């Protein structure tokens, strides 16, 4: 099996994820043991406090160092992306194209936790798709289920303006397992991601999540998520061959 983890904080010393190369390698080893064959490193970018040029320089440097450290090791391949925090007007900003996933037209977008999903937010997501020609991947959509506008966000996903992922940890959690099942069965979920930060704080749980999905929802949903993962990996590989 091949499997792509689309959301991780494994780049060393760039955000609140892996603190050094050793931790990055440890996380990659954990992901490999769970059947993950490729990983997208998606460090946080906060537009209200981070400088884009500094961020890109830092992440590129960290990425090169990590690639050098793992080049002779049998570990998952690593691609570079970003977890972009939403800001008002994001859909009108052509600058967001510098934060796409490894040469593709996919953009991992994090909505503010606990904030209402307003018409402005929804229109921004649509604009990312229609005006910028990008495909927003909405990060961990299970987190927003109690905020105003959530059903409208799900409809936006159903209408094809964005895709979404849920965290593996949410799938296996008693508190959010049923919600995740409903999201998967409703076809609002395209990807399962680790969103791993460290071996202790939010460790990867991809294997447990996929096993849970297979046991509770059946092989059809399990296979659908595997296929979606593989298709995105193929797109990334094609983009990086050009």
Mean pLDDT by 10 residues, the chain (242 residues): 95 96 98 98 97 97 97 96 98 97 97 95 98 98 97 98 98 97 98 97 96 97 96 95 72
Domain extents in the chain = 4-241
With a CB cutoff of 8 Å and minimum separation 6, the contacts of 176 are 142, 170
pLDDT value, residue 1: 78
Is the CATH number of domain 4-241 3.20.20.140?
yes
pLDDT value, residue 242: 62
**Exposure string over 73-104, b if 16+ CB within 10 A, otherwise e:** eebbbbbbbbbbbbeeebbeeeebeebbbbbb
């Amino acid at each position: 099996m091949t499997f792509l983890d689309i959301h991780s904080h494994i780049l060393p010393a760039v955000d609140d994820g892996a603190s050094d190369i050793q931790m990055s390698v440890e996380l990659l080893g954990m992901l490999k043991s769970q059947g993950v064959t490729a990983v997208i490193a998606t460090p946080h970018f906060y537009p209200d406090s981070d400088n884009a040029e500094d961020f890109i320089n830092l992440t590129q440097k960290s990425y090169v160092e990590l690639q050098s450290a793992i080049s002779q090791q049998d570990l998952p391949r690593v691609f570079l992306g970003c977890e972009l925090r939403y800001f008002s007007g994001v859909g009108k900003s052509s600058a967001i194209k510098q934060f796409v996933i490894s040469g593709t037209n996919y953009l991992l977008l994090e909505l503010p936790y606990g904030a209402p999903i307003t018409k402005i937010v929804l229109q921004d997501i649509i604009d990312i798709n229609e005006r910028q020609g990008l495909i927003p991947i909405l990060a961990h959509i299970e987190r927003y289920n109690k905020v105003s506008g959530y059903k409208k966000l799900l409809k936006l996903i159903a209408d094809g303006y964005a895709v979404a992922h849920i965290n593996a940890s949410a799938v296996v959690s008693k508190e959010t397992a049923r919600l995740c099942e409903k999201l998967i069965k409703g076809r609002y979920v395209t990807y399962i991601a680790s969103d791993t930060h460290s071996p202790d704080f939010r460790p990867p749980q991809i294997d447990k999540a996929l096993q849970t999905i297979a046991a509770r929802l059946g092989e059809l949903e399990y296979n659908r998520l595997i296929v979606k993962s593989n298709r995105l990996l193929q797109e990334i590989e094609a983009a990086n061959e050009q």
